[in-house]
């Protein structure tokens, strides 16, 4: 087996750390307060995956590359697998109600169902349910 990491940290630049944190709290996500301050908020996806919402200035100090405005260009799509079609709809509807925007129409394929939204900064979040038994992955 190849190399395995203990934890995945995804770093995203955001215009307002406080506003982005409030957005994701409205979706039901928790934050690790030990890694949250005025410049960064640590969004907990699960025990081994977190998304660091970094102020533009802080992100720029790490990257040193020109930032992409996610409202006009894409660099990453974050995909979250959930336990049911209903949970897909619920999470995307919560995102829209919290100030995000829908991205694509719902996709209902044989064994996979998904829908997506853009967060306050235009980052793409795809939420999907996969029937592992029907997909052959079980």
> What are 4-11's contacts with CB under 8 Å, separation 24+?
6/48, 7/48, 7/49, 7/50, 8/48, 8/49, 8/50, 9/50, 9/51, 9/52, 10/49, 10/50, 10/51, 10/52, 10/76, 10/78, 11/51, 11/52, 11/54, 11/59, 11/62
- What's the mean pLDDT when you consider all of the chain? 93
Name the CATH superfamily housing domain 68-138: 2,3-Dihydroxybiphenyl 1,2-Dioxygenase, domain 1 (3.10.180.10)
Tell me if 69 sits within 8 A of 26, measured CB to CB. no
Q: Which of 17, 81, 61, 68 is nearest to 43 (CA)?
A: 17
Residues of the chain with pLDDT under 50: none
Q: What CA–CA distance (Å, rounded) separates 74 from 3?
A: 28
Same fold? 1-65, 68-138: yes
The ranges assigned to domains in the chain are: 1-65, 68-138
Q: What is the pLDDT of residues 42-79, one digit of tens each?
A: 999 999 999 999 999 999 998 888 888 888 998 889 99
């Amino acid at each position: 087996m190849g190399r395995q990491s203990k934890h995945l940290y995804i770093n995203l630049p955001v215009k307002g750390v406080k506003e982005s944190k409030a957005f994701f709290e409205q979706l039901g996500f928790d934050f690790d307060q030990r890694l949250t301050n005025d410049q960064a908020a640590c969004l907990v996806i699960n025990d081994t995956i977190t998304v660091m919402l970094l102020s533009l200035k802080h992100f720029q100090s790490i990257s040193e590359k020109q930032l992409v405005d996610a409202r006009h260009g894409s660099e990453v799509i974050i995909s979250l697998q959930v336990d049911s079609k209903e949970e897909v709809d619920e999470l995307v509807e919560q995102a829209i109600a919290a100030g995000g925007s829908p991205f694509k129409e719902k996709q209902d394929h044989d064994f996979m169902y998904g829908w997506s939204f853009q967060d306050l900064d235009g980052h793409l979040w795809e939420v999907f349910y996969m029937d592992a038994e029907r997909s052959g992955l079980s």
